[in-house]
Structures are given as structure tokens and as C-alpha cells.
Amino acid sequence: MSEWYWSAQAAYPVLATLQWLPLVGALLLLLIRRERVAVAVGRLLAVGELLVAIDLYARIDLSTTVMQFAERFDPLAYHAAADGISVLFILLAALLGVLLSFYGMARQQITPVRLLGVLLVIEASTMCMLTTMNLLWFAAASAVQLALVGYLLWRWASASEERLALARFLQYQLFGWLLFVAGSVVLVWSHVDVVGGRWTFDLFDLLATPQLGKYQSAAFYLLFYGLAIRTPLFPLHGWLPNSAGYGLIAVGPVLLLGVKVGIYGMARFLLPLTAEAVIVWQPYVVAFAMVGVFYAALLAFRQANLRRLLAFAVVSHTSLIVIGLFTLHPAGLQGALLLAVNFGLAITVMLMMIGYVYRRAGTTNLDRLGGLFDRVPFIAIAFLIGGLALLGMPGTPGFDAVHLVLEASIETFGALPTIATALGNVATAGFLLWAFQRAFLAARPKDLPARRIARTSGMEYFVGGTTLLVLLAAGFYPEPWLRLTDTATQALAAYFQHG
């Protein structure tokens, strides 16, 4: 085999292109002196990245469980490949890259070229995580992404409390990253104990080696907690309310939450590599997730800030995704992954609409909002549709996804835990609708001075409308996404059905 190799399935190294195109674009922006030209080029490159992702989707063979589009460069231990799960998340990441390239410029409060450059590098690191078959490459790309999001929190925060938000973010994320790296080292140590030879962090090399029992639980703990902090899952969510309440309103949270890298990492690495330990600890993980559904819903009702309320909605919804993932059932796995993508679209449109509200009102405190529906009905409706999608209402991708998760949960855990989970989702509906009523439909507080609220701009219609169009199209026509993940989730579930 040559040092550099890519699959003949594509006429060009499509996975490498997904990783390098944004990096080349970021370097190109540094050379362009005119801001307007640089912004246009940045957006064009984001659209180009989406077109490459669509080409990947068009080329993938959904009839096989084999990882496809393999690429290798042995001197750097580079190994990339994709299946239906990868493609699903890649499409979402590329779409969010396009939306953020337009949203960030619409705010007109930051340096456009620098923001676009950072967004492109973050997109490149995300694509690396979604395509790599190497635990060390995944960790390295994760470090780059988290460092750059931390930079955004520091450089372009929207309130004076950004230092607290940044400190909590860095503390949690650094700890989670170290846990993931330590878990990867434990897996490799087990591999060397069995076969000897050199250390390898390659997924396929590790899967080919039976993991020693004495390492299984340790590796599971470290990998799971490291990824759970990123997701985030109760009780490891402490960084999110501060980051959401005091950091960037939409750009930072969308980068961290829009693409559920933690969920992807669990499906790609944690479940297959620590299958025996997963089966042992499955009931405990699901129990914590069920508590998280109600805990987050309870705290959400106590929030006075729309951004912090949405942060707890994230924790509650994430718990439902993890429950689906740990059913270890084909339907539950498929439902959880589709729910993660539905969540990405829903939370993106909600965060962007909150950003537009902040731009007009100068606050996201619920007691200082009200009466916005009459002035910005599109922003209000977009926020509402995003909230309904988050709950899995008919006509959104979450409807089929929640159905699959609950179906698998009944079969795996029984009726009572499933009913409890469904009631938690109802509680989520309650506090999101309550927040919508307070922010958009309630009467404007009398003690606030009269202020003219700007109408919705064309760019805001484009960003919000595009997100809603994709969300509703995927909801009314979910078959392509179900086909995309069916074979891959069947293969993932086989580790537990036959192990």
C-alpha cells in the first residue's frame, strides 16, 4: 500500500476535501484585504463545503455495512472513512456552517473576516472528528475546536460576565478532553497487552483485538464521561448555563450543540470498543438520563433568562437522546441519531432567533420582554417551530425519531420507565411554550420605555427560513434519513445482539 491512499469510490479524496477546503479558505481570507470580498469568499467556501457533503451523500452505498471512502496516510496515522451515520452528521455540520456564515455577518457587531476564518477552521476540525477512524485524531481535532470556541467566548462575548462563562467552559471541557484521552490510552494499553507490538489508536485495529476485562470498565468510564461533558448530559452540564447565559448568544452555542459530537463519539467509538462494559453499565446510564430529563425541566421553569432556559432544555433533550442510544436496539440507535440531528436544526433556529431578539431588545430576561409578536412575527413563529421540533411534533424529524426511541425503550426497559421519559418530554413542552408566551405574546412591561422594535430584515428571513425549510422538509419526508442510517445502526446494534 502506498503512503497516501484513497478509495476509488470517489474520483477525488472527498473526506480529505471536507477537512482541507475550510482550512484553505481560512488561509485565503488572511490574504484578502477588502472586507466585502473576503466575506463573499468565506460564504462561497461554506457553500462549497455543503456541496461536497451533498456529493458524499449521493455517492454512498447504503446496502453495505462496510465503512466507505477510506483514506490513509500512514506516516501521520491518518485514517478516514464514512458510513451512513457519518454522512448524516456531515450534512448537518456543513449546513450549519453555511447558516452561521450568514448569521454572524447579520449581527454587525464583530469583525466579519476574523469570525469567518475562525468558523471555517472550526468546521474543518468538526469534519475531521466526523470522518476519522483514529481516537488520537478525534481528540486532536476536538482540542482545536474547543480552543477556538473558547476564543470566541473570550473575544466576542455579549455581556460583562464572559470571564465566568469562559472559566467554566474551559474547566469542564479540558477535564472532559483529558478523560477521553485517558480512556483512549487505556484501550490502546489493553490492545498492546493482548497482541504486543506498537501502540495504535486506529478503531479497526482496536476492534480486531478482544479487550481485556480488567480494562473494559475503566475505558468505558473515561470515554463516557469525557463525551458526556461535551454532549452535555446531567450531571456534567454545569458549563452550559453560564456559556449560554453570558457568552455568545448563538454562534458559540450552535458550534457546540448544533452538531452533537459527543453523541457521535459514543456511537462511533464508545459503544463498539467497550461493548461488554456498556451492557453492564447500561441501566445506570439510563437511570441518570431519566433523572436528567426531569431535573432539567424543573430548573428550566425557574429561569428568568430565555438563554439559560434554553440551556436546560438542551440538557433535558440530550437525556432523551442518550436513553435511545443506550437501548442498544437498532430502532433506538437510529432514533437517537436522528433525534440528535433534529435537535441540531431545532436548537440552531431557536438560538438564532434569540440572538435577533437580543439585538432588538438588548436583553433576553423574560421580565423585560413581551409584545414582540406584533413587530417580529416571523422571528416568533420560527422560535415556536424550533421548540415544537425539539419536542418531536408531527411534521418535524423529531416525530419519527422520538417514536423509534420510545418503541425501543418499551422493548428494552419496559413500559414504566418509557412512560416516565415521555412525561419528561411533556414537561419540556410546557416550559418552552411558557417561555414563548412570556417573550412574544405577553404584554410589554409598563415600566419599560417605549422603543421601536426593528422589523425582520431580509438576511434574517433567509437564515431563519432556510433552517425551517430544511427542518420541515426532513419532517414531512424522513425516508432518505431513515435509509441513510438503517444499515449502519443495524451493524452497531449487532455488537450487543450477538456479543
Name the band, by pLDDT with cuts 50, 70 and 90, for residue 120: very high
Give the total residue count for the chain: 499
Per-residue confidence (pLDDT) for residue 116, from 0 to 100: 86
Name the band, by pLDDT with cuts 50, 70 and 90, for residue 14: very high
For residues 19-24, average pLDDT: 93
For residues 303 and 471, give the distance between their C-alpha atoms in angstroms, rounded to a whole number: 27
Among the listed residues 255, 240, 126, the one whose alpha carbon sits nearest the alpha carbon of residue 172: 240
pLDDT above 90: residue 242: no
Q: Which residue has the higher pLDDT, 433 or 134?
A: 134
CB atoms within 10 A of CB 67: 18
Per-residue confidence (pLDDT) for residue 140, from 0 to 100: 95
Mean pLDDT highest for which of 210-224, 317-331, 363-377, 417-431?
317-331
160 CB-near residues (< 8 Å, 6+ apart): none
Per-residue confidence (pLDDT) for residue 94, from 0 to 100: 94
CA-derived radius of gyration, the chain: 22
Residue 454: what are its φ and ψ, rounded to 5°?
-65, 145
Report the sign of the C-alpha dihedral through residues 440, 441, 445, 451, in that order: positive
pLDDT above 80: residue 340: yes
For residues 314-318, average pLDDT: 82
pLDDT above 90: residue 112: no
Q: Give per-residue pLDDT as tens, 63-78.
A: 888 889 988 988 888 9
Per-residue confidence (pLDDT) for residue 176, from 0 to 100: 92
For residues 361-376, average pLDDT: 78
Name the band, by pLDDT with cuts 50, 70 and 90, for residue 1: very low
For residues 351-365, average pLDDT: 81
For residues 16-24, average pLDDT: 93
Q: With pLDDT > 70 as the criterion, what percentage of the chain qualifies? A: 92
pLDDT above 90: residue 141: yes
pLDDT above 60: residue 157: no
Per-residue confidence (pLDDT) for residue 55, from 0 to 100: 93
For residues 42 and 432, give the distance between their C-alpha atoms in angstroms, rounded to a whole number: 35
For residues 54-70, average pLDDT: 90
Per-residue confidence (pLDDT) for residue 238, from 0 to 100: 76
Q: Quick one: which H or E segment has residue 127?
A: helix 112-131
Q: Which residue has the higher pLDDT, 392 or 80?
A: 80
DSSP for 299-354 reads: HHHT-SBHHHHHHHHHHHHHHHHHHHHTT-SHHHHHHHHHHHHHHHHHHHHHHHHH
For residues 253-282, average pLDDT: 89
Q: With pLDDT > 90 as the criterion, what percentage of the chain qualifies? A: 27
For residues 476-483, average pLDDT: 88
Among the listed residues 243, 83, 70, 71, the one whose alpha carbon sits nearest the alpha carbon of residue 149: 243
Reduce the DSSP state of residue 251 to 3 states and report it: helix
For residues 233 and 292, give the distance between their C-alpha atoms in angstroms, rounded to a whole number: 7
